[in-house]
Amino acid sequence: MMLLSLENIIYFASVNYTLRFQESATSLITPSGQCQAYLPYGEEGVLAQAIKEEEATGLLALRYAPERYQEFRIE
């Protein structure tokens, strides 16, 4: 998750599920690859966080699929 956020310059949100052995925690990863917030394994709750949209440029997505991101073009 951290690598995907960092290489794509996006926020990445992961949501856990109700299984005995979860593979991921509910978390929010910043475009710089840092964990901004998370809920510990086994704890029920809702994770609400403010994000800075301007940090999520999606530069790689823009380079590889420009037709999908017309409104985000950096000139």
Residue 72 has a pLDDT of 56
Confidence of residue 75 (pLDDT cuts 50, 70, 90): low
DSSP state at residue 42? T
Write down the domain spans for the chain.
2-72
Residue 42 has a pLDDT of 73
pTM above 0.75, yes or no: no
Q: What is the pLDDT of residues 4-55, one digit of tens each?
A: 888 888 899 988 766 666 667 889 999 999 999 998 877 778 899 999 988 9
Residue 14 has a pLDDT of 87
Q: What spatial distance separates the first Cα and last Cα of the chain, rounded to whole Å?
A: 29
DSSP state at residue 32? T
